[in-house]
Amino acid sequence: MPSSQPVVFAQGLEKRFGETRALRGLDLALEQGQILGVLGPNGAGKTTAVRILTTLALPDAGTAQVAGFDVVQHPQEVRLRIGVTGQYAAVDELLTGRENLEMIGQLARLSKSDAATRATELLERLDLVDAADRVSKGYSGGMRRRLDLAASLMARPPIIFLDEPTTGLDPRSRMQMWELIEDLVHSGASILLTTQYLEEADRLADDIVIIDHGLAIARGTADELKEQAGGQRLEVVLTHPEHLERASTIVQGFGEGEVQLDPRRSRLMTPVSATDGLLAQVVLALDGEGIAVTDLGVRKPTLDDVFLQLTGRELSLEESTETDVVDVKELSTV
């Protein structure tokens, strides 16, 4: 396959589950040796897209290729070239960590000795040596996630799908997982990473696709996406939320665009350019109207600002409304 061709390419993917449209014409492209971050809230269609790309579900419309092979017409060829880590660790709780990996290795057609050697290598790389011969049922969440990742790497796949790999992990385990993902890319892997964590996409992804309700609503590098939210932003947090409307009228006079209100956090934001003496002026203006301020500042836009601008709501405040489901009948035909 020519190196200039994306290793994962999808165009116009659509998928329905009854009345629910999980995907509405999604386009994706992962370049060789890079990380593509697919960012979106629960229920956006991220897992459905991964299931189609990894041959676990069939699209209703659109096309997708992985490593140059059509996922519908040549699923076996695709499976030989990918590793998959789902949202939930898929390990056999009755086996030890080592036994889990050796079993996966032999299922991937490694010889018994090669599977044992590869298992030992991955246990060392993923800091699981001390727990290698313990039954995995007793593993912590972070250990189970690392073991699941190790299983997906047993056959040394050049293309790896990570579906929200750090969900439920504590901050330390999350940082360890980030470092592992970066190491995989440095070793030559190409990774499609789905996430709902803004800082995760910001740190890891070479390119980002933001999806909402099954459709890509923005794409680009983290810096390119942040530019869409404008330059610097004035952010004011009020002591009393009932003052939001009055404060908005006052702050409007200092900004260069629409004032966005966040009642849940008693916060309002607006784009600004000239910042010299700005904060003092804002405080004096609000104080003159008897409006108390808890915090204020000028900051650069974030990916959350991009999502807020595009959808009118914050990604970090999205509630769990996952609509991705498994169609058992469909799986039997894949």
Q: What is the pLDDT, as a whole number, of residue 3?
A: 52
Average pLDDT rounded to a whole number, residues 22-29? 96
Q: What is the pLDDT, as a whole number, of residue 78?
A: 97
Give me the architecture of the 230-313 domain, per CATH. Answer: 2-Layer Sandwich (3.30)
SS3 content of the chain, % helix, strand, coil (to 5): 40, 25, 35
Give residue 316's pLDDT band: very low, low, confident or very high (50, 70, 90): low
Tokens of 127: 């800091």
> To the nearest whole number, what is the mean pLDDT of the chain?
88
What is the CATH number assigned to the segment(s) 8-226? 3.40.50.300
Name the residue ranges covered by the structural domains of the chain: 8-226, 230-313
Percent of the chain with pLDDT strictly greater than 90: 64
Nearest to 42 by CA among 325, 324, 321: 321
pLDDT at 142 over 50: yes
Q: Are strands 215-220 and 207-212 parallel, antiparallel or unpaired?
A: antiparallel
